[in-house]
Structure 1
Amino acid sequence: MTETFVVIGGDAAGMSAASKARREDRDREILVFEKGDWVSYAACGMPYYVKGDVDSLDELVQVTPEAFRTERDIDLRTNHEVVGIDPVGQTVTVSADDNRFEQPYDQLLVATGARAIEPPFAGMDLDGVFTIHNMDEADAIHTYVTETDPETAAIVGGGYVGIEMAEALAGRGLDIHLFEMLPHVLQPFGESVATVVEDHLRERDVELHLDTPVAGFDGEETVASVDLDSGTVPADIVIVGVGVEPNVELAEDAGIETDETGAIATDEYGRTNYETIFAAGDCAEATNVVTGEADHVPLALTANRAGRAIGQTVTGTPTEVGEIAGTAIVKAFDLGAARTGILDETRARDAGFDPISVEITAPTRAHYYPGAEELTVTLVADRESERVLGASVVGPEGVKRIDTIVTALHAGLTVSEVENLDLAYAPPFSPVWDPIATASKVLAGSLEDAA
């Protein structure tokens, strides 16, 4: 008897799972219900569409709905919203065109993603105030900037979205004010990265308002200013980018358990507390490779990997979804910043480690080769085991070197083992001692001195 695999959500995790399941099982019935129009799109590219570096939203689509249907033989139904899950009866309730129907399943994947947090600010409903987490929001911002020709933009939030949208709107000729309630931007990257990024943003004429909570927005029908405790700042457009929260309400209503992370609790195979129900992507938790504990870091690769693994599992080859290190990378005008693992000393101690760290600055190429830039590396390790716990890098080039530390985290390498890795060297690409190796060498010395 043919089994049915139902997927709720048509983006990274959902379509990766459906596609892998189809490759593994040509006979299985595979249905994907997506409540919107867009599927399999590169959300990370949306700021570059707003900026104008990407001409059309369609360019961000990895695989079109029609290609999923005709080339991959997946029953993809857009504008179909799943409004209920019955884990006992193994059905989902689907709403489409003002009609409802029940769809049975043998295996179910909840890949409902996340949504932009909308703080309880006054004026969030004013024209010109936007969040950005999906294609329709990106299109609305692009249209607004094109049609109204604003002069001043306010970015609320100094995380990835805030930094990228500051660059995007500056690229459209707007004056930029960036508001962050914490002392620094890019809080997960650590202070050493943040201060370098902040200096660069100021060089690019971004006016930073750090340690500055926003009270709300003011205007008649259209936003005119940002309200602060200390006064107001004029703004013709506002982007609120203060984070995302997982879409778990549908799952919770069905008795699917969530965890302290706020996301759906899963095991190493992405399975929930129901044997036939899986969860993946921005709505689901994952295991942190450093701490071994549940974590929620909603990023694209995590979703794609987990979805692909679940596609294999439901078709008979149990496959772990993989651990995460919280790896992230961001572009801020002419600067790049990246981070992975645990950088915060308090979090490290709470996880049972005794952290020790170093910060070094080293050239990205041989000193005599043209174009060398300075790269700042912060490396953190556990004092007793000497195991690498995390790192951050910031500079005009070479920040993808963070992947060396990502590999070290997944392999459980010590500082000395990273120091002795046989990393590639040629003058156009690196000095003899790569900055990652240099940081490891310095930290290994600190560990010896502390012994």
Structure 2
Amino acid sequence: MKVIIIGAVAGGASTATRLRRLNDEVEIKIFEKGPYPSYSNCAIPNFLSRDVKSYENLLLNSPESFKTRFNIDVEVNSEVTKVFPEEKKIEIKSEGKTYTEDYDKLVVATGAEAIVPSFIKGVDLPHVFTVKTVPDVVKLDKFLRENEKKRVTVIGGGFIGLEVMENLTRAGFEVSIVEATNQVMAPVDYEIATIIHKEIHDNGVDLYLEDPVSEITEKEVILKSGNKIETDAVVLAIGVRPTSKILEVAGAKVDDRGYLEISDTYETSLKDVYAVGDVVKKEDFMLGGLTNLELAGPAQKQARALADHLAGRKSKPVSVIGSSAVRVFDLNIACTGLNEKKLQSDNIEYKTSYVIPMDKVGIIGGANPIFMKLIFDEEGKVLGAQAAGRGTVDKRIDVVAAYIKMNGKLEDLYEYEHAYAPYFAPPKDAVHLAAMVGQNILNGDVRCVTMKDLRSLYEEGAYIVDVREKNEFENGHIKGAHNIPLTEIRNRISEVPKDVPVYLHCRSSQRSYYAYTFLRENGYKNIYNIQGSYLWFSLYEYFDDLRLNREPIFTKYNFK
């Protein structure tokens, strides 16, 4: 059997090497359009800051290593230009020559290409770049350093945009980032994104939200609002689209966004032609159907499943829940499962819990708060989670992701047994606390609103009680709030009205929950705990106050 693979990065290289490990007799040949096979595309932006010292460190294998280790032939700088499914042949263009190769099985792992929007005037100028491949990032880096350019505008606030922004900033460039929507990093909800916005601002980056690009000139990026950003270079990072044209022309079925349609065994509508990676969608574990998720992990899992099938083993389609993580300067962000935006658009009922515990025992040096959000349904089934913080947020989200894949519920998360020691985590970790708060909400032990409701409550003149200590209150509070510390509330209960709704908060919602239970047990019915409390309130409001030039609702922000 002769297997030809188009594309030598995550999907293609993984299919080839797994198949070789299962079958040493099959003939395997890979054609790669670019000069490098099997590179670490996720680490490409890190070359800009020299966290990756040389672009050569991004290269994981060479054609020679594929041959000596796996007896796999790899042809680089070789573009497959046509597929002839009836004849089981492909046409290749390399070094000015065109030739054909036959196959028994064809695997298409062409991935996705960066979107260059034609509706933006000036995208074809020589100082406009994308960062999708190793040659892309080398070209950008060379342009900036050899021409002593200093000002860079990044268009797009997704993963690639954020990573390029950070690495360029750390390399000493003056960076602006433009996002057409109201937040960066679309997979997380707004209350997590606001924490990222502040981190970006605090590191000297100019962040433009809800202001799409209308034109790029030699010296400026012009936004829809009329704002003009002086710039020496522009990086387009507004998303990717599947590189499927070669098979579409050959007659393969694609969906309305260009993703190749595949069977449970990754076979396209063309016989003996398969596809994996970013050129296809993945099974949606959460909602059923298919979803796009352009990440190396799912691509490699698909590749393994396809290789098993080609080797005659049973395999099943890879399903995804959308786990991802990113670092933005000193802030770590991770998420998994469904977010509120998706649940709302699909009219799915859900509830949320918010907690702000430390990532390790607080008296240990280096402990940092974790801002964690857990999403669940009325039955307690876990639907998603998001977290941000300067500590290890990713391992908390990984735990939730594992339980989601097992259809776990809140009680399962609460009972999960973690590896505890003061340097690693508190006895009740963020995951436990988020599940506990969720259980309290479902059991009716507490009624909550969130930081998203705070501004409207303030504008309506709601009765807000701050249960922090007096010195904390004096260091910053919601304008018009009433300070009744938790340590005094038993003696001052008469000051809490029963004839109007009362909204309680503290620094992290823990002390205000204690106050809530005390008031509840003493006959108060119309009370609410504001999830997030002052620490998250400040982060949620801060950057929007700046960019919208609006009046703060606090006497002073608190971020610690």
Q: TM-score range by the shorter chain?
A: over 0.9
Are the equivalent residues in 1 in contact too, given 2:63–2:73 (CA < 8 A)? no
Whole-Å Cα distance in 2 between the matches of residues 341 and 275 of structure 1?
34
Q: Give the distance between the partners of 1:267 and 1:37, measured in 2 at CA.
A: 31
Q: How has the CA–CA distance of structure 1 residues 267 and 348 changed in structure 2, closer, same or farther, with 3 Å as cutoff? A: farther
Structure 2 residue runs without a partner (length 5+): 447-560
> Is residue 2:34 matched to residue 1:36?
yes
TM-score normalised by the chain length of structure 2: 0.77
2:469 is aligned with 1:447: no
Q: Provide the rounded CA distance (Å) in 2 between the counterparts of 1:66 and 1:226.
A: 44
Task: Read off the aligned partner of 1:412 and give its amino acid letter.
Answer: N
The equivalent residue for 1:255 is 251
- Cα 1:396/1:22, change in 2 over 3 Å: same
Distance 1:279 1:352, change over 3 A: farther
Residue 404 of structure 1: which of 399, 408, 417 is its match? 399
Q: What residue identity is the alignment partner of 1:310? A: L
Q: Secondary structure at the match of 2:123?
A: coil
Q: Counterpart of 1:137?
A: 136
SS at match of 1:52: coil
Residue equivalent to 1:167: 166
Aligned partner of 1:370 among 365, 370, 389? 365
Q: Residues of 1 paired with 2:247 and 2:181: CA distance?
A: 33
Equivalence for 1:381: 376
SS of 1:419's equivalent? Answer: helix
User: Does the Cα contact within 8 Å between 1:328 and 1:340 map onto a contact in 2?
Assistant: yes
SS of 1:312's equivalent? Answer: helix
Offset, 1:66: 1.0
The Cα shift of 1:351 comes to 5.0
1:289-342 alpha-carbon deviations (Å, 9 max, x no partner) = 111220111101111111122112101113224211111111100001111111
Q: 1:214-241: per-residue Cα shift (whole Å, max 9, x none)? A: 112112xxxx111123142100111111
What is aligned with 2:2? 4
Q: 1:313 aligns with which of 297, 309, 313?
A: 309
Partner of 1:186: 185
Residue 261 (structure 1) shift: 5.3
Cα distance change, pair 192–140 in 1 and its aligned pair in 2 (3 A): same
Residues 102 and 262 of structure 1, relative CA distance in 2, 3 Å threshold: same
TM-score, scaled relative to structure 1: 0.95
What amino acid maps onto 1:239 in structure 2?
Answer: V
- Work out whether residues 177 and 206 of structure 1, in 8 Å CA contact, stay in contact via their aligned partners in 2: yes
Separation in 2, partners of 1:216, 1:254: 36
Distance 2:333 2:265 in 1: 31
Distance in 1, Cα, partners of 2:404 & 2:287: 10
- 2:242 aligns with 246
Contact 2:360-2:425 at 8 Å conserved across structures = yes
Per the alignment, residue 157 of structure 1 pairs with 156
Provide the rounded CA distance (Å) in 1 between the counterparts of 2:271 and 2:436. 47
Question: Which fold has the larger relative contact order, with Cα–Cα distance below 8 Å and residues 6 or more apart in sequence?
Answer: 1
* Ranges in structure 1 where 5+ consecutive residues have no aligned partner: none
On the 8 A contact 1:32/1:77 being kept in 2, the answer is yes
Assess if the C-alpha contact under 8 Å between 2:183 and 2:209 holds in 1: yes
Q: Quick one: which amino acid aligns to residue 377 of structure 2? A: D
Pair 1:343 & 2:339 matched: yes
- Work out the CA distance in 1 between the residues paired with 2:439 and 2:266: 37
2:385 to 381, 385, 391: 391
Larger Rg: 2
| Distance in 2 separating the partners of 1:187 and 1:450 | 32
- Percent identity of equivalent pairs: 28
Q: Within the alignment, does 1:228 sit opposite 2:227 as a pair?
A: no
Q: Is the CA contact (8 Å cut-off) linking 2:283 and 2:317 kept in structure 1?
A: no
Alignment of 1:94-133 (within 5 A): 94-120=92-118, 121-133=120-132
Secondary structure of the residue aligned to 1:179 is strand
Q: Deviation of residue 348 (structure 1)? A: 2.3
After the TM superposition, which residues 68-79 of structure 1 pair with which residues of structure 2 at under 5 Å, given as runs?
Answer: 68-79=66-77
Residue 164 of structure 1 aligns to a residue whose secondary structure is helix
**1:20 matched to which residue of 2?**
18
For 1:356 and 1:171, the matched residues in 2 are separated by 39
Aligned residue identity for 1:309: A
1:50 is matched with which residue?
A: 48
8 Å Cα contact 2:283/2:291 also seen in 1: yes
Cα RMSD over matched residues? 1.7
Is the CA contact 1:268–1:322 (under 8 Å) kept in the aligned structure 2?
no
Partner of 1:287: 283
Matched AA of 2:305: A
| Aligned mates of 1:112, 1:334 — CA distance in 2 | 34
Instruction: State the one-letter code of the partner of 2:18.
Output: K
Tell me the distance in 2 between the aligned counterparts of 1:419 and 1:375: 17
- In the TM superposition, residue 349 of structure 1 has moved relative to its aligned partner by 5.2
